[in-house]
Amino acid sequence: MLRLIGRRLLTALPSIVGVIIVTFLLTRVLPGDPAAYFAGPAATPAAIAEVRTKLGLDRPLPEQFFSYVAGLARGDLGTSLTTGRPVMTELAARLPASAELTLAGLILSFMIAVPLGILAAIRQGSWIDHLCRVLATAGVSLPVFFTGLLLVYVFYYLTGIAPSPVGRIDVFYSPPPSVTGFYVIDALIARDFGALRAALSQLALPVATLAIFSLAPIARITRASMLGVLSSEFIRTARASGLRPTTVVITYAFRNALIPVVTTIGMVFSFLLGANVLVEKVFAWPGVGSFAIEALIASDFAPVQGFVLTMAILYILINLSIDLLYGVIDPRVRIEG
């Protein structure tokens, strides 16, 4: 197992190096001058040149790159010019908010999509099967920001069921003492049920937005994979042996159909990390995505580079977790690896 982890991490190193190089170069060719932005609209050319010198932007590009890489080797992602704080500190403070939103959306979509896909495969051609197709089509057709705005319009503006879509917790409640950074878990640890209700109510609409976006591929892959397994010889043998239908479907069919589903969940989780950027802006969610967008507008290079590098590392860790899950689901994969 350790050998597998080490081999996967080694193969991921070129990807990390490529992300560092491409991100550095892209941030340098983006329109806008950080020195002019932070010097102010009334700054003279001499003042702008002085700010550019202080930021190190007057140095040759290779020198800037090697300075950036040297900082990465020390664990330094640079300093955000908009906040004046280290990028590592900002990402560490905001990453739990993004992780809580993404994981909650993925869990909700999994809880809906997998049973729906199984039922659609078992009752092929029924209303459940048609419902699965409609939800899958709607999920992939609606842009995530449009879904979020539509939910806000219906459940906040028209009906008033949902609270104001601003932030992670209602303004009338204080955040629970930070233990994990996840407000829901921290509120449970502190037994602050008022803060728990406030955090859950703020989570409801953004999580529903991400769940609608992500349940489509999970439901379709679950249905297709289950249909393939249910037509197998060993399933017919299991049914002929008199096993209960639940045992045949869950124990035999679903376990053999699980590997494509797990692969899709890993891919969907990666997509959600990107979709988070739009959802966080729609719901004023204080995560890393909104932080990166604000830095990009201000031509603040360091937060953008730190955000992309963090997302790349998370993507690699997700793929590694999927590879390890393959061995748990199907021991033959572990033996072959």
335 confidence band (pLDDT: 50, 70, 90): very low
CA distance 52 to 217: 47
Rounded distance between C-alpha atoms, residue 202 and residue 152, angstroms = 11
Question: CA nearest 207: which of 116, 111, 299?
Answer: 111
How many C-alpha atoms does 243 have within 13 Å on its Cβ side? 17
Q: Name which of 58, 24, 52, 55 is nearest 36 in CA terms.
A: 52
Give the residue-averaged pLDDT of 42-54: 78
Helix or strand holding residue 90 (H, E): helix 87-122
Q: Which helix (H) or strand (E) holds 320?
A: helix 301-329
Query: What does the pLDDT read at residue 100?
Result: 92
Tens digits of per-residue pLDDT, 183-204?
Answer: 999 999 999 998 999 999 999 9
Lowest mean pLDDT among 141-145, 205-209, 324-328, 332-336: 332-336
pLDDT digit string (tens) for 58-84? 788 888 888 888 888 888 888 887 888
The yes-or-no verdict on residue 10 having pLDDT over 80 is no
Q: Where are the alpha helices (DSSP H) in 164-257?
A: 183-190, 193-230, 233-240, 245-246, 255-256
Q: Which of 307, 282, 305 is nearest to 95 (CA)?
A: 307
Domains (range + CATH), the chain = 2-73 (no CATH), 93-336 (1.10.3720.10)
Q: Residues 145, 278: contact at Cβ < 8 Å?
A: yes
Evaluate if residue 222 carries a pLDDT over 70. yes
- How far separated are the first and last CA of the chain, in Å rounded? 9
Q: What is the pLDDT of residue 334?
A: 55
Residue 309, CB half-sphere, CA atoms under 13 Å: how many?
A: 25
Mean pLDDT taken over the chain: 84
Residue 4 has pLDDT above 70, yes or no: no
Mean local confidence (pLDDT), 154-158: 91
pLDDT at position 130: 83
Mean pLDDT, residues 3-17:
75
Percentage of the chain exceeding pLDDT 90: 12
Q: Which of 111-115, 226-230, 321-325 has the lowest mean pLDDT?
A: 321-325
CB of 77 closer than 8 Å to CB of 91: yes
Task: Write the single-letter amino acid at 221.
Answer: I
Q: How many CA atoms within 13 Å lie on the side-chain side of 71? A: 17
CA–CA distance, 8 with 10 (Å, rounded to integer): 5
Residue type, 210: L
Q: Classify residue 130 as exposed, middle or buried by CB count within 10 Å of its CB (0-12, 13-18, 19+).
A: exposed
Helices (H), 161-192: 183-190
Mean pLDDT highest for which of 139-143, 230-234, 329-333? 230-234
The pLDDT, as a whole number, for residue 153 is: 92
Least confident of 48-62, 247-261, 278-292: 48-62
Q: What is the dihedral of CA 184, 185, 186, 189, to 10 degrees?
A: 130
Say if pTM beats, i.e. exceeds, 0.85. no
Taking 70 as the threshold, does the pLDDT of residue 258 lie above it?
Answer: yes
Cα–Cα dist 126/174, whole Å: 48
Where residue 324 falls among pLDDT bands split at 50, 70, 90? confident
Q: Which three-class secondary structure string do you get for 56-88?
A: CCCCCHHHHHHHHHHHHHCCCCCECCCCCCEHH
Helix (H), strand (E) at residue 29: helix 2-29
Question: Cβ(217)–Cβ(268) under 8 Å?
Answer: yes
Q: Which helix (H) or strand (E) holds 275?
A: helix 258-282
> Token pair of 30, please?
């983006």
